[in-house]
Amino acid sequence: MLVQLHNVHLSFFDKQVLHGVDLAIHRGDRIALVGENGSGKTSLLKIILGSLKPDSGNVAVKEGCAIGYLDQSLLGGDHEATCMAVALGAFSHLLELEARIAKINQALVESRDLAESSRLLEELGEAMDAYEAGGGYEYRARAEAMLLGVGLAPREWEKPVDSLSAGQKARLALARLLLGSYDLLLLDEPTNHLDMRAREWLAETLPKLETTYLVVSHDRTFLDAVATKVAHLDRGVIKVYPGNYAAFRRQWAEAREAAWQTYEKRRRLVKKLEEQARSYRNWSHAKEREKRGAGDKGHIGAKAAKLAKRALVAERRLHETIEKLKEEKPFEPDPIKIEFNGGKEGILAWTRDLAIGYAPGPPLARGIRFELRSGERLGIAGPNGCGKSTLIKTLIGEIPPLAGEVWLSPGASVGYFDQEGRALPSAKSALEAVLETGKDETLVRTVLGRMRLRKESALKRVADLSWGERAKVLLARLILGNHDLLILDEPTNYLDIETQDVLLEALSGFPGGIIFVSHDRYFLDALATEKLFLGDQS
């Protein structure tokens, strides 16, 4: 066993995050850690890592267990280091051996003493054996394959780390982690900033690594491929299910159904006990009246007392069962049905022989043709850098087309979701930002709640919200905005799977048209009625 957590508790201010968590991680485990945003997944990873102390409970990590954690510290402190140098940092021992071998070879060239040369040759042989045993002839190829896998092209390998975008740095950190030698990997959202091709590559690569891992991701297709266990963190408690994410959802649904059956069975028992107690009381009272009217000699009184005792027993069982009902009632989240307004009929958008990009550079993509009508959903996919977001910005008029035509219905109300949330007023609270739609505050709070934005977060300034919370606020504004056409640039990037399900159900019932970009295979397949794949257009 590598890690054992027992009865771990954690609170922030007056909010309890973890409540008696038990979790065992054995060598060879491939565990998916799932739960809603804010449920404590990242905190749990940091407790295992040792960078966060729980309020109480025991955390035991096997002595000598090397733990790798996905964060920016993997990039090192050298701002001038290149992308390739950071990746090769995982093989520092081999780089040191290379330097040692080169030094020995130089000494051999300069040596004029036979005994010294013999000693150097022996030392060289030992170094070469260690170099070969450590993978010295393959490590550069491994590093190149890993960089390509996470979506970093050869033209980026010699760039200084400081010149990379935030997304490229995140992918480089992932490559550096996967190249390292660890007993346990803690992977917090490794699919962020990865396009569909890179996600599929990671889903194939991760299970082949000879290491244990605990992975957090909102991509259910990815989790299906990499997990053999699912640890579900729900309301501060973890329950572990065997199998991948799809198997977990089936077992979870079955467990909830069984819990409701138990609950309903006890409800029926309550009704039966209530009837028994009432009957016994009525019979007891009737016998008491009969006793008083007949001048009872003892028989009727004894029967009345017996019935009264039965009534008390039935009532005691009734109260015990009612208390168990309170404990056993299954938790059910708020209803997720969201009603959209809008839905202009007819053609909402089209493009003809469209070329997109930034002048005077070459087009990122060309020859783009589509037509979108009300009720249709166009899903756009492709590798990072192929022009997906550029196409979205061209459609809404932020960037002029390099060639061809773009048309949006002039009478249609367009709602736009951008990844940066620029449309949100940063100085206002989340609640105030959505109230700008002109809707009633009760309705606004209801929609925010159904998007699983916590009550305390609704009162925070937009600037102080996490990226996932900002996404929920912007989506709530779109839901309440009476739009005919929604244009969404990766709306699920920071959403947990439960909120994705809410959004997916809402968008599936939207009467207007939708154009959206997504790297999430499940979301793309579930929502799109048509798909547009962009690729290299060189």
Give 193: exposed, middle or buried? Use CB within 10 Å, 0-12, 13-18, 19+.
buried
Lowest mean pLDDT segment, chosen from 17-31, 252-266, 520-534? 252-266
What is the model's pLDDT at position 25? 97
Q: Are residues 424 and 441 in the same domain?
A: yes
Specify the range with the lowest mean pLDDT, choosing from 45-54, 201-210, 305-314, 420-429.
Answer: 305-314
Same domain, yes or no: 160 and 45:
no
Considering the domain boundaries, does residue 200 fall inside one?
A: yes
The mean pLDDT of the chain is: 86
Is 252 inside a domain boundary? Answer: no
Shared domain for 23 and 110, answered yes or no, is no
Are 55 and 125 contained in the same domain? no
**329-362 burial, b if ≥16 CB within 10 A, otherwise e?**
eeeeeeebebebebebeebbbbbeebbbbeeeee
Whether the predicted pLDDT of 297 surpasses 60 = no
- Tell me the pLDDT band of 15, cut-offs 50, 70 and 90: confident
Which of the four pLDDT bands, split at 50, 70 and 90, describes residue 247? very high
pLDDT band at 335 (very low <50, low <70, confident <90, very high): low
If asked whether residues 278 and 305 sit together in one domain, one would say yes
pLDDT tens string 385-411: 889 999 999 999 999 999 999 999 998
Q: What is the pLDDT of residue 304?
A: 61
Mean pLDDT of 145-161: 93
Which of 136, 153, 180 terminates a domain? The answer is: 180
Beta bridge partners of 18: 10
Q: With respect to residue 340, please indicate whether it lies within any of the assigned structural domains.
A: no
Least confidently predicted of 22-31, 77-86, 87-96: 77-86
Note whether residue 341 is domain-resident: no
Query: Residue 146's domain spans which residues?
Result: 78-180
Helix (H, G, I), strand (E, B) or coil at 252: helix
Does 338 reside within a domain?
Answer: no
Classify strands 403-408 and 347-356 as parallel, antiparallel or unpaired: antiparallel
537 — pLDDT class (breaks 50, 70, 90):
very low
Q: Quick one: 384 and 266 in the same domain?
A: no
Confidence of residue 273 (pLDDT cuts 50, 70, 90): low
Q: What is the pLDDT of residue 419?
A: 76
pLDDT at 281: 63
- Residue 532 parent element (H or E): strand 530-533
Same domain, 138 and 52: no
The better pLDDT of the pair 245, 418 is held by 245
What pLDDT is attached to residue 271? 74
Together in a domain, 318 and 421: no
In a domain, 489, yes or no: yes
Given this model, what pLDDT does residue 456 score? 85
pLDDT at residue number 336? 47
pLDDT in tens, 213-244: 999 999 999 999 999 999 999 889 999 999 99
Q: Is it the case that residue 538 has pLDDT exceeding 50?
A: no
**249 in any annotated domain:** no
Residues 153 and 264 in one domain: no
Q: Do the domain assignments include residue 538? A: no
* Of 26-40, 313-327, 426-440, minimum mean pLDDT range: 313-327
DSSP-based three-state secondary structure for 163: helix
CATH number, position 439: 3.40.50.300
Judge if 377 and 488 occupy the same domain.
yes
Pick the last residue of a domain from 157, 180, 203.
180
In this prediction, residue 334 has a pLDDT band, given cuts at 50, 70 and 90, of low
Domain end call among 180, 199, 232:
180
> Do residues 165 and 222 share a domain?
no
Q: Are residues 86 and 20 in the same domain?
A: no
Question: Into how many domains does the chain fold?
Answer: 4
Q: Higher confidence at residue 315 or residue 439?
A: 439
Q: Looking at the DSSP assignment, which residues form a beta bridge with residue 429?
A: 461
pLDDT at 298: 56
- Whole-number pLDDT of residue 340: 59
* 420 vs 203, higher pLDDT: 203
User: Contact at 8 Å (CB) between 352 and 369?
Assistant: yes
C-beta of residue 409 within 8 angstroms of C-beta of residue 347: yes
Residue 261 confidence (pLDDT): 76
Q: Residues with Cβ < 8 Å from 273, sequence gap 6 or more?
A: 314, 315, 317, 318, 321
